[in-house]
Amino acid sequence: MKKIVGPGLLTPLLVASSIAWAAERPANTYFSMAITENSHNHYGENLLYLDFSPREAGASQHPRTVQSVRVEPGQITADGVADEWDSSRFTLIKPRVMNNYPLSNHRDATPTDILLGSAWDGEYLYFVVQWEDANGDASINRNRWVYRGGQWVPMPLTPFRPGTAAATAVNRNDRMQGVESEDRAFFMFPMVDRQGNFKSGGQGCGGYCHANLAVSGDPAKAGIGDGSAAMHTTVEGDIADLWHWTATRHLPMNTLWDGRVEYGLESYNGRKGDEGNEPFIDNALTKPFRPQYVHRGDLESGSYTIPGFRTERLVEADLIPITEDMQFAEGVSLPYYIGTPGQGSRNDVYSDARFDEATGRWTLELKRKLVTADQQHDRQFTPGADAPPPVDELVVRGDIERGAQLFKEKACSACHGENGEGTFNGETWDYPRNQRTSAQAILNAASILRPSRQQNVIHELKKWDEQPPAALMPYVTLTAQEAEDIAAWLQTRYTPFGQ
């Protein structure tokens, strides 16, 4: 396999006038990006600055700035190898936990460093993302079927690999989600941002993602309360473009899920897909619970009589329905998803990725037209006024000792308990558990600037006549770094799932 980072062949075009360049280049903007390792929890950077301005390699810039370098048309192949990129232009991101569900049986996010680069050629915008997988493997088997003991069952979650970042998760010995998930990457670009999340000092995606994650249901019965993990903007009219790449569902079809986050309150889910269809359908029946199809060629070759045989991929042209007389050896596995042609603006972004088994690293490349036909739902990368560059102090991974001190100083322990364990009575939380949570969830719950904050919290609590408003989360003055410190400490606090 080719090296993940190439020898530095990509160079910017030289132009006679920076004024002429500025007249045609896209406007600088903020964005967010995050990575998920076989889970729903993710880590990344909630506020990055995409700078299309011409500048020399190595020029001083804010640590959150990602240079988008102008290149010749066709110079970037977007094949998941990245040999044609100049790695000296990449931004090194020391990511932070962006989301950990306080009550979940998903793997906690364990950040690894991210390299992020960008380029444009007058027609297309490109990104390259490189990161070490937290568990050192490629999670590409979401919901995969396995034949065990005479029946079809979902593939169990891949165990933690010793010596990896994932193996350090505080909930590593917990009962994890029962089936395999997948590796993922997220990008978010503001379109209308009246709330001001995408500006220097703003929360970026943190102002939208899981904005109701303040309380949850009975920990003995379920993980996250209905609606508490809803994703939406909180000011009417605000909207953001969302790109969601997945290693099982989208990688084989060279695309990703192109959608948006729109306005909503309480349990409203504002995460909507753009027009069109996904590039896959489910290979599943409910009665009986089993896959519906096998691969015609693998069946005719007798491969399904080989113990542990694996059909790597299914597309519509390969399908043959499973019948009762078919025989399968122990451990045979089939994909849960069938590749189909994706159509519409939901598939505007081209993607390709490679996983290097030797280094345990992903390289993901993305390519999208600067201007698309779906101007209502897609961020258009066109000339215009630049977003003012970041000037705020960089928020870094939290200090655990400082976080423990702040948890007491800010009186968090008075309600949530000495270790963030919370208090649960009857059928509701008096004070919700906040162990393992993220800084963004803390800021969302505590900020006086949170629009419609009480409506978002009350719907999960007791009725007003049963529970006085004093039980609502009080407004707490916190800097983003203080929230990060508190979260770093809470991410070391742990109550086994279901307790």
The domain spanning residue 407 has which CATH number? 1.10.760.10
Question: Domain end: 349, 369, 389, which one?
Answer: 369
Question: Domain end: 329, 352, 369, which one?
Answer: 369
| pLDDT band for position 464 (cuts 50, 70, 90) | very low
Same structural domain for residues 364 and 470?
Answer: no
Is residue 68 domain-resident? yes
Q: What is the pLDDT of residue 457?
A: 47
| 452, pLDDT greater than 90 | no
Q: Between 439 and 11, where is the model more confident?
A: 439
Average pLDDT of 289-312?
98
Same structural domain for residues 108 and 153?
Answer: yes
Q: What is the pLDDT of residue 269?
A: 82
Same structural domain for residues 364 and 466?
Answer: no
Q: How far is CA 51 from the centre of its chain?
A: 22
| 18, pLDDT greater than 60 | no
| pLDDT band for position 143 (cuts 50, 70, 90) | very high
| pLDDT band for position 455 (cuts 50, 70, 90) | very low
What whole-number distance in Å separates Cα of residue 413 and Cα of residue 476? 13
Q: What is the pLDDT of residue 219?
A: 67
Q: How many domains does the chain have?
A: 2
pLDDT by residue (tens digit) across 202-237?
999 988 876 555 555 666 665 655 456 678 888 889
CA gyration radius for the chain? 24
| 460, pLDDT greater than 50 | no
> ∠ at Cα 25 (23, 29), nearest 5°?
120
- Do 34 and 206 form a contact (C-beta atoms < 8 A)? no
| 181, pLDDT greater than 50 | yes
Same structural domain for residues 138 and 249?
Answer: yes
Peptide bond connecting 288 to the previous residue in cis, omega within 30 degrees of 0: yes
* Mean per-residue pLDDT of the chain: 87
- pTM of the full predicted structure? 0.90
Average pLDDT of 473-484?
88
Is residue 306 domain-resident? no
What whole-number distance in Å separates Cα of residue 368 and Cα of residue 354? 19
Q: What is the pLDDT of residue 175?
A: 74
> ∠ at Cα 311 (307, 317), nearest 5°?
140
Q: Which ranges in 205-341 belong to alpha helices (H)? A: 296-300
Phi first, then psi: what are they for 166, rounded to 5°? -60, -30
Is residue 308 domain-resident? no
Q: Which domain holds residue 89?
A: 18-281+337-369
